[in-house]
Amino acid sequence: MFPGVSGMTIDGAGMLKKMESLMKRASLSLSRSRTSAIAGVMFTAAYFLVAVSTTSAAEPATGAAATDVTAKVTDHSRVMGAARADCKKCHVSEVAAGMKTVHFQSAEQRLYKFDGNTKKYADALGIKQAELLSNSACADCHGTVALEAGQKKVVSGVSCESCHGAAGGDDGWLNTHQSYHASMKIPREQETAEHKAERHARCDTAGMVRSTNLYGLAKSCYGCHLIGNEKLVAAGHKAASVFDFVSWSTGEVRHNFFMDKEVNAAAPSLWTETEKGTVANRRRMKFVVGMFAQVETTLRLLAPATEGAVIKQFRNPLRDAAELLQEVDTPETVAVGELVEDFVPSRTGKKPENGDEYLAAADEIAEHAKAFVNANDGSKFADLDEIIEETPAYYSQQYKQKYGEEN
C-alpha cells in the first residue's frame, strides 16, 4: 500500500490487475511484460529522441513557468542542428549515442527514399518528393528542419533540438545554458545560486526544454508519438501502436553522460548530483506524467477531428489513461479522471463535445499535470515500481542487431 497526496491509499497488486484489465479491453495482443508500465494504449508514429528526467519537489523553480515550454518548433530560423551548434564540443558522448539511434537515422530511412510507405503517405498528403525534405509534416517528425538560404531543409535526423527546443537566435538558449557567469568564463562548480536561477529562467524564456522540465519533455515526445492527421491515418500510417514512455526513455535513446563521458547513467547525472534525485523516483514520475501527457495530447488531437474511423482510435487510450491516473490517487490525478469521463468518444467514433470544449479540457489537464509535478517527487509512489520494473528498457530491433542492448 502507498499513500497518495490526498491521504488515501491504493493497493499495488490491485493497480496491476486493473492495468491488465484495461489492456485486455483495449484489445491489444501484447504480453504483460510489454504493457504494464504505461496506461492504456500508447501510440508511436515517428521515432522521437527523448531524454526525460523528473522535477524534484526540492526544486520549485522548475514549476509552472518552466513546464509551459515544449520543443515544438514554430520558428525554423532558430533551429541550428547539432553540427552548426557544435553540440559535440561539450556533449561528445551524448551526440555519439544519439547518432546510433533509429531516431537520428529516421530521416535517412524515411525521407531520402521516395518509395514504399514514404511515397504512399506523401501522395496521400499531396507532398511532392522535392518537398519531403523541406516543408512537410513528414520532415517535422522524422528529421531536424532548419532554414538555409531562407528555405526549410532537413539538416539531420531527429536530434538535440527535437526534444530540447530550437537553440539559435540572438536571444536563444545555446550560449546561455553553458554560461555560468555574467561577464567571465568560470567552471560550473563556481556558479552562484542566484546566477543559476537567472540562467535557468532565461533558458526557459528562450524555449529550452531542460531535463528538469518533465512535463515539457513528455509533451515534446507526444507531439510526434501521437498522430491526428486524418489523411495520414487514412492512408495507413500507424496511429495506435504501443509507445512505452518509461521503457523507451531508459533504453536506446538514453544519453546521460554529463558527469562522466564514459558512463551512460540511469538518470540525468547532473540532475542526480545537484538535486539529489533518485532513479526510482524519476521513473515513477515519468510513469504518471506520461499518462498526463497522453490524455492532454489526445484531447488536443480530438478537438479538430471529424473522421469517425480516426476518432474511435483515441477512445481507449484516452479513457484508460484517465482511469489509471485516478488509481494513483492524488487530487490532480483524480480530477483528470473525472474530467475525461465527458470526453471519451463512442465506439462508433462520435465525439460527445465540440472542439472548443476539448481544447479547454486539454488546458485544464495541463494545469493539473503541472500542479502534480510541482507537488511530487515520486517518493510517495513506491508501489508503482512493481508495474514499471516488469517492462524492460526499449531497444529497437535495428539497434540491437548492431549494438546489442548497451549504449
pLDDT of residue 240: 63
pTM (2 decimals)?
0.83
Rounded to 10 degrees, the C-alpha dihedral 330/333/337/339 comes to: 110
pLDDT of residue 51: 34
- Of 140, 163, 174, 206, give the one whose Cα is nearest residue 71: 163
Degrees to nearest 5, angle at CA 386 with 255 and 314: 75
pLDDT of residue 8: 30
- Of 212, 43, 208, 38, give the one whose Cα is nearest residue 141: 43
Q: For residues 366 and 297, give the distance between their C-alpha atoms in angstroms, rounded to a whole number.
A: 9
What's the chain's average pLDDT?
83
pLDDT of residue 257: 96
**C-alpha of 357 from chain center:** 24
Q: For residues 143 and 114, give the distance between their C-alpha atoms in angstroms, rounded to a whole number.
A: 15
Which residue ranges in the chain fall short of pLDDT 70?
1-73, 240-241
Q: Do residues 49 and 162 lie in contact, with contact meaning Cβ atoms separated by under 8 Å?
A: yes
**Beta-ladder partners of 152:** 147
Residue where the block lists cell 486539454: 362
**Beta-ladder partners of 151:** 148
pLDDT of residue 261: 96
pLDDT of residue 32: 31
Q: Tell me, what DSSP letter sits at residue 209?
A: -
Q: Tell me, what DSSP letter sits at residue 346?
A: P
Segment 67-117, tens digit of pLDDT: 556 666 678 899 999 999 999 999 999 999 999 999 999 999 999 989 999
pLDDT of residue 243: 77
Backbone angles phi, psi at 155, to 5 degrees: -100, -15
pLDDT of residue 317: 87
pLDDT of residue 405: 81
Segment 76-85, tens digit of pLDDT: 899 999 999 9
pLDDT of residue 132: 93
Q: For residues 130 and 126, give the distance between their C-alpha atoms in angstroms, rounded to a whole number.
A: 12
Q: Which strand (E) or helix (H) includes residue 144? A: strand 144-148
Q: Which three cell numbers stand for residue 56?
A: 524534484
Q: Do residues 57 and 377 lie in contact, with contact meaning Cβ atoms separated by under 8 Å?
A: yes
DSSP-derived 3-state class of residue 153? strand
Task: Count CA within 13 A, CB hemisphere, residue 47.
Answer: 26
Segment 369-394, tens digit of pLDDT: 999 999 999 999 999 999 888 888 99
Q: Do residues 46 and 141 lie in contact, with contact meaning Cβ atoms separated by under 8 Å?
A: yes
pLDDT of residue 159: 93
